[in-house]
Amino acid sequence: MLRPTHNIKGLHLLRQRLSTPGPSLAPAQRAIVEQASASFARRFSGGTLKKPQRQPHHRGKGATRDLPGKHIPAMGENTDTLAQVDAPFPLTEVDKWVLSQTDEEFKCHDWDELCVILQNNDLHLLKRKPSDLRRYIKWTTETKAEYGNITNFLITHRLPKAWGKPPFTPASSIPFENPSDYRVLMNDWPYGFAPGISHIVVWTRTPIATDDTVGDMTHQSRKIVADFIKRFFVDRLGPGGEKKVIWFKNWVALQSVRTVDHVHVLVRDVEPQVLEEWSRELECHKA
């Protein structure tokens, strides 16, 4: 599995990092990353994101009109206006860059690019399509207004009823050891991926240990997660499965839900019936 590094130095160093894949890649994935690095770096100018072009102001439509008192920028809105966005979570520079584009201008993440991003632990570069990001801002605002926070929504509508409310009491102190302690779900708000790439989230009521710096996983917890990913996803796909699965866990600073630990799993060219099998509810999840 890909093992992200701790090399987090900002967009301006991206090209330099892309040229040096980490030593933790398996041989097959190392080749993918090395081939992808050059094409991915070409999407940036001098190693940094190109400055968005100023666009004419467009009147908001749909989700923008439906949220009185909250300014959600229309696609293509200029960067000066983006600074005024009243979002339910801090917008990163990448978010603002995305919101300055239209869906037609947005370039979806392909598989090779995702391998590079995860290898370099540049998780802040993962982007949703402009229209999806605008809808996500609106949904998050409305959900927090109705439920108080996203965790309450998840407990009510997504997580196993048998878990109850935090603080949870897991069956095992080791993450992903007991099936009753984790729930596999398709992500309601995936990033902007090329066709054929699916986004899965694995929620766990057993905490995943992180360090005290950027909130990234410890060496031991990373191994625990990697072993689970191989056992649950890769092995199910048979020979060559390791080329179809990559994963990551957001640093604490990037998490929109911090109360319940979760891991993101990206798979490519997986049949719908396999996705359904992975995400089915088990009897141990029911109250």
Q: Per residue in 161-205, pLDDT tens?
A: 999 999 999 999 999 999 999 999 999 999 999 999 999 999 999
| CA 287 – CA 282 distance, rounded (Å) | 11
| CA 5 – CA 122 distance, rounded (Å) | 9
Q: Which residues of the chain have pLDDT under 50?
A: 1-70, 78-84
- H, E, C per residue of 121-187: CCHHHCCCCHHHHHHHHHHHHHHHHHHCCHHHHHHHHCCCHHHCCCCCCCCCCCCCCCHHHEEEEEC
Q: In this predicted structure, what is the pLDDT of residue 47?
A: 36
* 210-to-111, 118, 122, 207 alpha-carbon distances in Å: 27, 17, 17, 9
Q: In this predicted structure, what is the pLDDT of residue 96?
A: 94
- For 200-209, how does the pLDDT look when each residue is reduced to its tens digit (9 = 90+)? 999 999 999 9
Half-sphere exposure in the Cβ direction for 197 (13 Å, CA): 21
Q: In this predicted structure, what is the pLDDT of residue 39?
A: 41
The pTM assigned to this predicted structure is 0.72
Half-sphere exposure in the Cβ direction for 260 (13 Å, CA): 27
